[in-house]
Amino acid sequence: MIYLSLFKMPRPMKITGRSSSITNSFINSIIPVIEPTEDEVKHALHMLGMDLNSFQCSYCGSEATEWDHLRPLVMNKRPTGYVSEIKNLVPACGKCNQSKGNKDWRAWMLSDAALSPKTKGVQDIKQRMESLERYESAEAPTKVDFEFVVGKDKWEQHWRNWELVQETMREAQVLADEINETVAKNYDRL
């Protein structure tokens, strides 16, 4: 039993387990990405109390490896209207970005969520939150009403396509389960 305590079976994959990834793809594929200028990045860092020598995760202070959307792009399986632009992005570490997901940054920072700044025991959490609040209130980010911009018909077709993909994934999962069961029953004969 000692060796079995070291072993962990891989989790079985489910086709339908990827539905949130598909939803995010349908949303992120329509959201504009606005590249910032050098001055805009410098200004954003300055607003966050950072520069080249103090570049770090806005949430916890660890090494920043990416930029996180302060306001989520996706909520309730629909776009929030925010776009990918410097006014809605802050430096983050991968762990904070992953843990925060599409949650409100304030609630998440003070939550007991795995890897939240509170859970990590970040000492200067209050100052970090004040810095993020100043940054957030300094300049309103772009918010788009996608349906209005592209028209009702095109917008509805996009979501019909999403539903078709979701339905196909559900049907594919039923078939995959049947195949898995048949192969497992015949495993001894293989």
- Same domain flag for 177 and 113: no
Q: State the residue range of the domain holding 157.
A: 12-31+146-184
* CA angle centred on 96, ends 94 and 98, rounded to 5°: 65
Give pLDDT, residue 174. 97
- Same domain flag for 63 and 137: yes
- Same domain flag for 173 and 85: no
Is a pLDDT exceeding 80 seen at residue 188? Answer: no
The model's pLDDT over 134-147, given as tens digits with 9 standing for 90+, comes to: 999 998 999 999 99
- Same domain flag for 42 and 105: yes
What percentage of the chain carries pLDDT values higher than 70?
A: 99
Q: Between the CA of residue 56 and those of 1, 28, 45, 72, 84, what are the distances in Å?
A: 45, 25, 10, 20, 20
Reduced to 3 states, what is the DSSP secondary structure of residue 174?
A: helix
Is a pLDDT exceeding 70 seen at residue 121? Answer: yes
- Same domain flag for 54 and 17: no
Rounded average pLDDT over 81-86: 96
What are the respective helix, strand and coil percentages of the chain, to the nearest 5? 55, 10, 40
- Same domain flag for 167 and 101: no
**Mean pLDDT in the chain?**
94
The model's pLDDT over 45-80, given as tens digits with 9 standing for 90+, comes to: 999 999 999 999 999 999 999 999 999 999 988 999
> Is residue 190 assigned to a domain?
no
- Same domain flag for 95 and 118: yes
Is a pLDDT exceeding 90 seen at residue 16? Answer: no
- Determine contact, residues 74/30, Cβ cutoff 8 Å: no
* CA angle centred on 69, ends 102 and 28, rounded to 5°: 75
The count of domains in the chain is 2
**Cα 80 from Cα 71, distance rounded (Å):** 9
The model's pLDDT over 22-49, given as tens digits with 9 standing for 90+, comes to: 998 999 999 999 999 999 999 999 999 9
**Cα 13 from Cα 179, distance rounded (Å):** 13
Indicate the pLDDT class of residue 190, thresholds 50, 70 and 90: low
